[in-house]
């Protein structure tokens, strides 16, 4: 009988259940009024006195093991039920995660960086809160220069020498001050101008400006770089350069690409000409090189700059610049499939 009780203790300890019904059946089997323990204790009365001590201890161990097992299994079932109440059915398929998307400005910025990095341009960045020297004076825009009126500036009231940068050309000045030629860098970043907000203009926007300085750099080098960029960025191989004026470049030009007249949208955005302005450029003015402690007798260079929003509006046919800043999920979700 002792061997039988020992075997039952092993069975109890090995028992597992996944439902309350199985636990209740187990309890009745061992602890019920007609269970095994009831029968064993009845037999215990007829056992020889010399065996009663060991058998009695074994029966108590069996009863305790069965009682503890029932409690253990019930607690486990209750814990599982509590988890389901909090988290729901943990076995059900998970909800699909709502995927985000990159902002179109970030997409275009990254693409521009990628295009220029293939021909050796590095990326340089600078502060958005700038001083007058780096934003204006060093770029051949001394105080009271009429060209300053072209850029309505946000000045810091406490210090009229401190302002929100109006272009990322200030980054180029800082880069020239800290690095010796040859220099080949682009400067993407956010800029600020005190302009009325409309479908075509905003007081906050983004620019990418490029700078290349070395010996024997010519306007022909600039044209080839721009032609490479337009082919890579837009798939357009026809450009033209129109004379223009920028204080920090001489000569200066506006860059147009031939967009074509294949669709109604083409007619609208090019005003029926097929040509579309995308950026400004020119040869770096010798005064700018002097201000950055670069010898203009030895080095020449070119610079160019474009608005990222303008490029994005062309690529994605976005009619209103304000859409970039409204954080409308319906607008942003359209770029989920764009890498």
- Residue numbering of the annotated binding site for Mg(2+): 250
3-class SS of residue 196: coil
271-297 b/e (C-beta count within 10 Å ≥ 16 → b):
eeebbbebbbbbbbbbbbbebbebeee
The span from the CA of 309 to the CA of 201, in Å, is: 10
Q: What residues are designated binding site?
A: 250
The span from the CA of 326 to the CA of 335, in Å, is: 15
Q: What is the CA radius of gyration of the chain?
A: 40
User: For residue 260, with 0-12 CB atoms within 10 Å meaning exposed, 13-18 middle and 19 or more buried, which class applies?
Assistant: middle
Q: Are 172 and 123 in contact (CB under 8 A)?
A: no
Please measure the distance between the N-terminal and C-terminal CA atoms of the chain and give it in whole angstroms: 76
List of long-range contacts for 326-332, beta carbons under 8 Å, 24+ apart:
332/101, 332/103, 332/104
Q: Are 257 and 228 in contact (CB under 8 A)?
A: no
- Residue 90 corresponds to which tokens in the numbers above? 């943990």
Q: Please give the order of strands across the beta sheet that includes 155-156.
A: 129-131, 159-164, 155-156
Tell the residue number behind the tokens 């009695």, with chain if given.
Answer: 56
């Amino acid at each position: 009988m002792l061997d039988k009780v020992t075997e039952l203790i092993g069975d109890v300890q090995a028992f597992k259940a996944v439902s309350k019904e199985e636990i209740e059946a187990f309890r009745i089997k061992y602890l019920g009024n007609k269970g095994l323990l009831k029968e064993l204790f009845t037999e215990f009365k007829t056992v020889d006195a010399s065996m009663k001590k060991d058998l009695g201890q074994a029966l108590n161990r069996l009863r305790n093991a069965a009682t503890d097992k029932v409690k253990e299994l019930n607690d486990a079932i209750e814990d599982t039920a509590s988890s389901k109440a909090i988290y729901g059915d943990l076995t059900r398929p998970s909800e699909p995660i709502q995927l985000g998307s990159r902002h179109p400005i970030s997409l275009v910025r990254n693409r521009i960086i990628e295009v220029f990095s293939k021909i050796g341009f590095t990326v340089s960045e600078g502060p958005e809160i700038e001083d007058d020297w780096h934003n204006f004076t060093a770029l051949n825009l001394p105080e009271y220069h009429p060209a300053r009126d072209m850029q309505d500036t946000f000045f810091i009231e406490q210090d009229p020498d401190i302002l929100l940068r109006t272009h990322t050309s200030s980054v180029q000045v800082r880069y020239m001050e800290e690095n010796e030629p040859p220099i080949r860098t682009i400067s993407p970043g956010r800029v600020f101008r005190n302009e009325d907000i409309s479908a075509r203009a905003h007081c906050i926007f983004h620019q990418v400006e490029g700078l290349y300085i070395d010996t024997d750099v010519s306007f022909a080098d600039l044209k080839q770089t721009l032609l490479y960029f337009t082919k890579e960025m837009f798939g357009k191989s026809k450009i033209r350069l129109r004379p223009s004026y920028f204080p920090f470049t001489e000569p200066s030009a506006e860059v147009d690409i031939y967009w074509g007249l294949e669709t109604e949208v083409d007619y609208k955005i090019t005003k029926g000409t097929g040509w579309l302005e995308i950026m400004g450029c020119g040869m770096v003015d010798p005064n700018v090189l002097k201000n950055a402690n670069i010898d203009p007798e030895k080095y020449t260079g070119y610079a160019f700059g474009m608005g990222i929003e303008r490029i994005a509006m062309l690529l994605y046919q976005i009619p209103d610049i304000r859409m970039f800043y409204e954080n409308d999920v319906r607008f942003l979700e359209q770029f989920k499939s764009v890498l």
